[in-house]
């Protein structure tokens, strides 16, 4: 279990990354549609994570490390 300061820093970093993830969606599609798409994709990612935790927990780390480079071309479109 991480120390209290480490846990707080990681929690803050997670919230900041979530806030930064909103920016490309809003810039690409406007405020209302961008926020709706961001929330939908976040929900889809959470559902997939729950399924992975249930059926293939060892697959989470490789997918988490491989997802950012694979998603970069889609962000550049």
List the helix and strand counts (H, then E) for the chain: 3, 0
| Confidence label for 76 from pLDDT (cuts 50, 70 and 90) | confident
The parent domain of residue 9 ranges over 4-76
* Count of domains for the chain: 1
DSSP H or E stretch at residue 76? helix 60-76
- Is 74 a residue whose pLDDT tops 90? no
How many whole angstroms separate alpha carbon 38 and alpha carbon 21?
A: 8
Helices (H), 1-77: 4-29, 31-55, 60-76
DSSP 77: -
Tens of pLDDT along 35-73? 999 999 899 989 999 999 999 999 999 988 888 888 878
- Is 75 a residue whose pLDDT tops 80? no
| Confidence label for 34 from pLDDT (cuts 50, 70 and 90) | very high
């Amino acid at each position: 279990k991480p120390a209290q300061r480490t846990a707080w820093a990681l929690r803050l970093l997670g919230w900041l990354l979530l806030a930064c993830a909103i920016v490309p969606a809003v810039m690409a599609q406007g405020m209302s549609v961008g926020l709706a798409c961001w929330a939908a994709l976040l929900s889809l990612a959470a559902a997939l994570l729950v399924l992975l935790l249930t059926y293939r927990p060892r697959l989470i780390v490789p997918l988490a490390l491989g997802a950012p480079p694979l998603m970069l071309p889609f962000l550049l479109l």
